[in-house]
Each structure stands twice: as structure tokens, then as C-alpha cells.
Amino acid sequence: DTEVTQTPKHLVMGMTNKKSLKCEQHMGHRAMYWYKQKAKKPPELMFVYSYEKLSINESVPSRFSPECPNSSLLNLHLHALQPEDSALYLCASSQLTGVSGNTIYFGEGSWLTVV
């Protein structure tokens, strides 16, 4: 079972709504990630937080806003999304140190539908 927990599992939102996806890990990992996955495609990196600081932003549109309140939590704030943003959003974490430091562990994902 995954030790990365994501909520909600399913979310339907209108294009004018504001919603948030939440992610939590208690493995003491110091890097956390947001990925987006469309059908029949591999996961696509959106953001990386390392030691609670934003390290990588893969030119993601500003309607997606990440937040890392502490080392265990990662949020993705959504506003004014488009139907093409409908996808599976995966949160992940990695240890950052040690032999297996860059092994990435995924949560079960949040299925987002924008209507």
C-alpha cells in the first residue's frame, strides 16, 4: 500500500471554480512532486519541492499553484481550469539522500474532471 495519501480521489469542477488537491506523506521524504497524466501517456512532471522549497516548475500555467506548507504536505491549488486539464494528478515523494534517495513513490492519484 502506498504511503503517499492523496485527497480527493475524484474531483469534478467547473471552469470558474477554485479547488485544491492535497497530498501527505509520513516517510520523512524531503522531496515532493506533482505529476499530471493523461490517458495512454506517461506521467509528466509539473512541480518539484525540495526541502519545502520549489525547485522545479516545468513551465506550468499559473492556473495551477503549488504549495508546500511543511515537509509532509503538498497542495495543488486549481483555478480557472480548462477541460483539457482533466487528467490524473499524481503526487509523489522521494528521500533525496542515501542510496535510494531518488526513488520516487506515488500516491494513488486524484482524478480531475473539468466541465
Partner 1 sequence: RKEVEQDPGPFNVPEGATVAFNCTYSNSASQSFFWYRQDCRKEPKLLMSVYSSGNEDGRFTAQLNRASQYISLLIRDSKLSDSATYLCVPSGGGYQKVTFGTGTKLQVIP
Report the nearest approach of partner 1 to the CB of residue 4 (Å): 9
Stretch that binds partner 1, among 19-27, 41-49, 68-76, 79-87 (CB under 8 A): 41-49
**Residue (of 59, 115, 57, 60) closest to 86 by Cα position:** 115
Q: Which of 64, 76, 109, 112 binds partner 1 (CB under 8 A)?
A: 109
- Map residues 54-83 to x or -, x wherever contact with partner 1 holds by CB under 8 A: -xx-x-------------------------
Rounded CA-CA distance 5/23 in Å is 6
